[in-house]
Amino acid sequence: MKPPSTSSVNTDENNTTSIVDVPLGDESGEKTEEDQSESKGGCYKKAAIAIILVGFISFVIADSLTNGYVKDSIDSFLEWIEDNPAAGIFAFMAVYFVATVLFIPGSILTLGAGFVFANTFGLGAGVLLGTLSVFIGAGSGAVVSFLLGRYLLRDWVSGLTKKYTLFEALDNAFEEKGLRIMVLLRLSPIIPFNAINYIAGVTAISFWAYFWALIAILPGTVLYVFLGASAGSLTDSASSGDDSTVTIIVVVVGIVFGVLAIAATSYYAKKELNKVAERRQAEMDAAVETAEDNERTVEVANAEKN
């Protein structure tokens, strides 16, 4: 089906006027009704997914501050794994995946995995299985969260980068140095793991840079799994991270890598900001020069006619 068209008036150098048809939604840059309908459908779909996701996340946050149903469910789930270790490994990965996407704090699961698997398979094998289970579950959940963030909000952020040079500079910094920035963010245990997954999704960081940076969560994962494995009971494992010495270490390491991540982001963003400013100035200069050339061409053409 031929797209609808509109008439355009062209005037050549000899002042000869002609009328041409320009299809809407093609050369004219306007959207056809079908394109607009698809665009609205996509917006509704994104809105529905966002509402459902925000609803679940809001429930988890509210529950953690009030009833604690989620925490009780996690405790019961970990007890079930003790009785069903083989199936529990795969179930644990699935639950950790869901927890990551829905902003359910993963520290209790990580510490609990250390205790449960160490109690069932021994300290060495337990720490290894617990670390692998946490890494696979958290990693897969992080990837899905990243893709959700990119699908839901990337277009909106891209619009901001066209309007504001600071957003464009930050976007370019993540595009060029995303792996380094994400590794530093992952190494900091005080940077919210679940939140950074969605935040990274709205930036221009490549999927593979984000994916490989997940390896940087392994040191913290091993530490928490080992702490859980060293606990005397499942109840103790949930509070293993509250030990004063461990807390001090986690906070210090978190601050160091957090500051490094912020410093690296600021450094790369500043460099990209200078590049953006130079490029935009060059574009403005080129536009002015083109306008002056066109003005001179018109003046010459008029002079020749006269």
What is the token pair recorded at 145? 């969260």
Distance CA 305, CA 141 (A): 71
According to DSSP, the residues that pair with 21 across neighbouring strands are: 7
pLDDT digits (tens, 9 = 90+) for 239-273: 555 555 555 655 566 566 667 767 776 776 677 66
The CA angle 200-206-211, to the nearest 5 degrees, is: 75
Domain boundaries, the chain: 36-246+255-266
Residue-level pLDDT at 139: 94
pLDDT at position 235 is 54
pTM as predicted:
0.67
> Cβ neighbours of residue 126 under 8 Å, at least 6 residues apart?
114, 116, 117, 118, 119, 120, 229
Q: What would you report as the CA-atom Rg of the chain, rounded to the nearest whole angstrom?
A: 28
Positions of the chain with pLDDT under 50: 1-29
Find where tokens 């990551």 sit: 100
Max intra-chain CA distance, the chain: 100
Q: Count the Cβ atoms, other than its own, within 10 Å of residue 238.
A: 21
pLDDT number for residue 224? 85
25 Rama sector, left if φ>0, alpha if ψ -120 to 50, beta otherwise:
left
pLDDT digits (tens, 9 = 90+) for 150-185: 888 777 776 766 676 767 777 788 888 888 888 888
Residue 209's pLDDT is 92
Query: Rounded to an integer, what distance in angstroms lies between the CA atom of residue 133 and that of residue 146?
Result: 20
| pLDDT value, residue 15 | 45
Contacting residues for 143 by C-beta, under 8 A, at least 6 apart: 210, 211, 214
